[in-house]
Structure 1
Amino acid sequence: MPEGSTRFNSKRQNHGLEETLDVSKLLDLAVPALESGTGVEASLPITNVNRAVGTILGSELTRKYGAAGLPDDTIRLYFTGSAGQSLGAFVPKGITITVEGDSNDYVGKGLSGGKLIIKPSAQATFAAEDNIIIGNTALYGATSGEAYISGIAGERFAVRNSGANVVVEGVGDHGCEYMTGGRVVVLGATGRNFAAGMSGGIAYVYDLDNTFIKRCNLEMVLLERVEEPEEIAELQGLITRHTALTGSNAGQRILDAWDEALPKFVRVIPKDYKRMMEQIRKVEQTGLTGEAALMAAFEANMRELARVGG
């Protein structure tokens, strides 16, 4: 067993870690990856008493390989059943967790580069896009990584997301609240107060019945159509990936009728974020790149704000 896992094992009796799936199974299964970066794969049942699955494993990976983690999909974990709270919390790059079933609250809390895939059981007879598959406050404070959720999420989805790319088929109230970065694609309806306090990143909402404007908090964001070719390709790519990984019927229907579906997507972008992105594009056209471009764009933006403010 790799160094670090031994240290955790020595504290099991004091901290109850013997009850965690990570300590009882996952650390042992992942030894080749933790020791030498060799790919591993495992399939296991999961129940709602299994909480924070992947978190201790992710900690061990980060301790060994740092913030860069491992290449995508080095550790592939497939679970069948109903996951408990905080599935995949803080999981770093290199770990992919797939659940065939459903999950509780706080899925992907603090996601830090890993990949989460949640889809209904292959034996399910219901329409995934019409049913809740994960609980509240998923992807809270996520910083990077990916999540593909075939079904509806509860309230406060992707709150304070600062860098993860996520596709889901519907969300409850307060989606993308205080979001500062990343991309969120919603292939169905949202609850009320969407995008409250959202200051960065972009959300794309499939507004089939043209009612989204009634449920969006417009204080800090603009609602637009998706028109730039590069952005259209990015959106289509995220939905294609979601469909391939989850078998989503909702995603496939949209892709099959892409020309008709695209105008129904609403682009939700913070006003200040849009202005800053436009300034960055302008200064990059002068030849500046990287940190220099960011600083020049920031200064230009401040001058513009001062001018408009009088």
Structure 2
Amino acid sequence: IKQIASGRFGVWTGYLADPNLEELEIKIAQGAKPGEGGQLPGQKVTVEIAAARGGTPGVELVSPPPHHDTYSIEDLAQLIHDCKAARVRVIVKLVSSEGIGTIAVGVAKAGADIINIAGNTGGTGAAQVTSLKNTGRAAEIGLAEVHQALCRTGLRQKVTLRCSGAHQTGSDVVKSALLGGDSFEFGTTALMMLKCVMAKNCNVKCPAGLTTNAEAFEGDPRALAQYLINVAHEVRDILAALGLKSLREARGRTDLLQLLAHQNQVGQMDMHRMLAVLPERPIAEPVYLEANFTVDDALLEEIRPALLDPASTGIEVDYTPRLSNRNKTTGGQLAIDVERILQYEMTAETAEASPIINIDDRGRRTLKPEALTLRLSGPAGQSFGAFCNAGMVLHLRGTANDGVGKGQSGGIIAVVSPGGGTRENALIGNFGLFGATGGQLFVEGKAGDRFCVRNSGATAVIEGVGDFGCEYMTNGAVLNLGSFGYGFCNGMSGGVAYQYDPEGKLDDFYSRDSVSLTPLSAEDALSGEYRLAARTMLERHVAHTNSELGRRILENWEAEVAHFRYATPLALEDYQNYQHIVAARSRKDLVDELAFAMVSHQLTKLKRAIKDHEPMLGGAVPNPQAADFDPQQMYELVNTSAVLAIAQNVARDRLAKTMGKDAVVAALSMDVAVQKLILTEDFTVLSKLSAFAKTALASYSDEELAVLISDKRMRDYKTALDLRNVRLRDGFGTFAWIAHQDRLNAERMGTLPSLDELFAKASSAEVVKLAS
């Protein structure tokens, strides 16, 4: 089971093409924070999290409260259809709240296979404490209401009802079944069986090693298996006592339940309607809303043989039937199928022999740029080009409804005007490129509202947008040649947006809390690089759409560039620019962050070597007299020795206290103890190593410390970009920003010392002392 939430973080074509995927869950809300979005504070956005979510390490990530492509039941039906492009069952997760029965009936009619009812228990790293304690409603109330509503409308047989709500015992499961449940989730108790101690610091240093600090994990999956077996036995015993043969027979038998009646019970609510018994109304030959991918099925039939042919030099398809607005998610199922063929069906020999397939350093196969070209025409329906993948080109002469390029992770989508109408007419609908992680979109016309909302890597050229363009954008680039609406760049924390503004109206429309504006014609180096990026994007736009407006601006580029401005996210400036860092942080904060980074860097390398059973530096000892001597290797050797020496000292002290003077036992335990101290990042070891790091930083000024922090953060950013599932191929603005910050840091301090060099200079003396 995988999940699609309002932020669409981590959702890309490969995520949906997983052959093990059976169910895809649309999280409309969450029991821990119903009706709220998620805010993941910057300190929780590690390099790995930023890579997975397409963000920036250390910069806050925001999940919007609603799905910005779902404002009605009809919109939800479209989202369910999008999910079925992955050829899986679709779950819709709701929260027990007022009116949930009516909502669930709409969800069932919209095509959901499973409805999940969440209660007010559980929690998440992005939920506020006040929400955890004060929001939500018991899952049992919502479950009963949904079951009754589906029974009344004759839809109960259409969907499976899944419920969560702190199930702990067999009795809890049976009660949920009697209220109408079909399947039952276990969350908190399952974690407890794996030795979760509810320390509430999952993101920092989980003492059980479940979420972080995996080396400390000592849980046994057999304990969880035995617990679930015990629950099943208890369920069977209770059902036998009730005279029921199965949980299916128990479904909806609320006549077997009794409301609590006690003088000390809290509240005065009348809950008798919760136990109303309603018969299910089976429909003999039901007709349900089903997914329709006729166009994609026809295209796949033609494309699959050519894709598997090692002699194929390119695939071009002219789809002659005109599209209509009844053709939904055109290209979505095809993109996922192509990804599945490339990664899981195609043999290694075929992939290596094919001239249209690239294989990257991670072993992922992708189509070469423009290897698969599809030409279509007509008024495309919703979600045209959703999940478009690398190497695909979707060229549409016509209009398209909402959701163009939704979830795009590669390739090119070009939408060309069919002619007629005026420039004020929108060519594509709302929320184009919602949740996109890569690829390019070129539109010879205007888009609706929320264009590029939550874009985290796609490049787009558009000729007008509605309200809230580039909202919550975390990466990528947008060049808008036309009009704009209110809320431009609201919540934008990454990427770059270029706006053509000959009338100078942008100041009244953009979000001053999120971005700063700079003329593209400015004389500084960053603006010069952005000018080159914007012109390159414009040239590609003209090449793919033959845009008259684009050609006119290019022909008069030297004059027109004065009418462009670009938006830089304040979050990036505040977090990565050393001048902003030194203005906002105290010296103690600067030293603490750098010291932690230096120590973490040393431990990470040693932990990796221990896990992989590989000697540091391959077991070699650097020779300063050698012609190819690399000082970096010497620093690494000194630092490794320092970490080991400190860990051995700590282990020796602890073993002496617990084992007395038994030297033989202590010697046998020493290696194990040292490894555990390093793998679990023991606090005492960290504290001693941090002292070395702070000593190394004592001679630097505050501004120099800020430069070192900026350099460290930029290195983290580059690492996160490299670790992304969808690597940026066209991140012109992002690459220019990185080069600019590196240049500023180098100008301020010259050659920047590495973390290894800084740490080695402070720890070398201690290594000699401990060794002697």
Give the shorter-chain TM-score range: 0.7 to 0.9
Contact 1:68 1:93 in 2 (8 A): no
Higher Cα Rg: structure 1 or 2? 2
Q: In structure 2, how many angstroms separate the alpha carbons of the residues matched to 1:257 and 1:271?
A: 31
Paired with 2:335 and 2:328, the residues of 1 have a C-alpha distance of 14
Measure, in 1, the Cα distance between the counterparts of 2:288 and 2:370.
Answer: 33
After TM superposition, the runs of 4+ consecutive aligned structure 1 residues lying more than 3 A away are 13-19, 274-279, 282-295
Q: Paired residue for 2:476, among 165, 172, 182?
A: 182
More strand by share: 1
* Rounded Cα–Cα distance in structure 1 between residues aligned with 2:568 and 2:549: 24
> Which amino acid is 1:199 matched to?
S
Report % sequence identity: 35
User: Structure 1-normalised TM-score?
Assistant: 0.83
- How does 1:1-310 map onto structure 2 within 5 Å? 16=290, 19-23=293-297, 25-36=298-309, 38=312, 39-44=314-319, 45-66=322-343, 68-121=365-418, 124-127=419-422, 129-226=423-520, 227=522, 228-276=527-575, 278=577, 291=716
SS of 2:412's equivalent in the other structure is strand
Which consecutive unaligned segments of at least 5 residues does structure 2 have?
Answer: 1-18, 20-85, 88-286, 344-363, 579-706, 721-740, 746-772
Shift of 1:288: 11
SS of equivalent residue, structure 1 residue 230: helix
Counterparts of 1:272 and 1:149 in 2: how far apart (Å)? 29
Deviation of the 1:75 alpha carbon:
1.2
The one-letter code sitting in structure 2 at the alignment partner of 1:49 is: R
Q: Which residue of 2 aligns with 1:307?
A: none
- Alignment correspondent of 1:304: none
Partners of 2:445 and 2:464 within 8 A in 1: yes
Do the aligned partners of 2:438 and 2:459 also contact (CA within 8 Å) in 1? yes
Unaligned runs of 5+ residues in structure 1 are 302-310
Structure 1: distance between partners of 2:470 and 2:389:
22
Q: Partner amino acid for 1:219?
A: D
Deviation at 1:17, TM superposition (A): 5.2
Deviation of the 1:65 alpha carbon:
2.4
Say whether the 8 Å CA contact 2:426–2:446 is kept in structure 1: yes
Instruction: Tell me which amino acid in the other structure corresponds to 1:20.
Output: T
Q: Distance in 2 between matches of 1:180 and 1:199?
A: 5
What's the CA shift for 1:285? 11
1:29·1:40 contact (CA, 8 Å) conserved in 2? no
1:54 & 1:27 partners in 2: Cα distance? 10
For the 8 Å contact 2:293–2:333, the answer to whether it is kept is no
Q: 1:136 & 1:289 partners in 2: Cα distance?
A: 34
SS at match of 2:394: strand
Alpha-carbon displacement from aligned partner over 1:202-233 (angstroms, at most 9, x marks no partner): 00000110001111111111011124322211
The alpha-carbon distance between structure 1 residues 293 and 253, as it changes in their structure 2 partners (threshold 3 A), is closer
Q: Deviations over 1:12-42 (max 9, x none)?
A: x99955653101x110121244324632111
> What is the CA-CA distance between 1:277 and the residue it aligns to?
5.2
The whole-number CA distance in structure 2 between the counterparts of 1:119 and 1:90 is: 20
Counterparts of 2:718 and 2:388, CA distance in 1: 32
Q: In 1, distance between residues paired with 2:481 and 2:296?
A: 33
- When residues 18 and 219 of structure 1 are mapped into structure 2, their CA distance, relative to the original with a 3 A threshold, is closer
Q: 1:60 to 1:292 in 2, by over 3 A?
A: closer
Counterpart-to-counterpart distance in 2, 1:22 and 1:15 = 18
Q: Provide Cα deviations, 1:158-213, integer angstroms capped at 9, x if missing partner.
A: 00000000000000011010000000000011011111111111000001100011
RMSD: 3.0
In structure 2, relative to structure 1, the CA distance for the partners of 1:229 and 1:19 (3 Å cut) is closer
> Structure 2 CA distance, aligned partners of 1:113 and 1:105?
19
Mark the CA change 1:17 to 1:294 in structure 2 (over 3 Å): closer, same or farther.
Answer: closer
Higher helix proportion: 2
SS in 2 for 1:87: coil
- Separation in 2, partners of 1:283, 1:61: 44
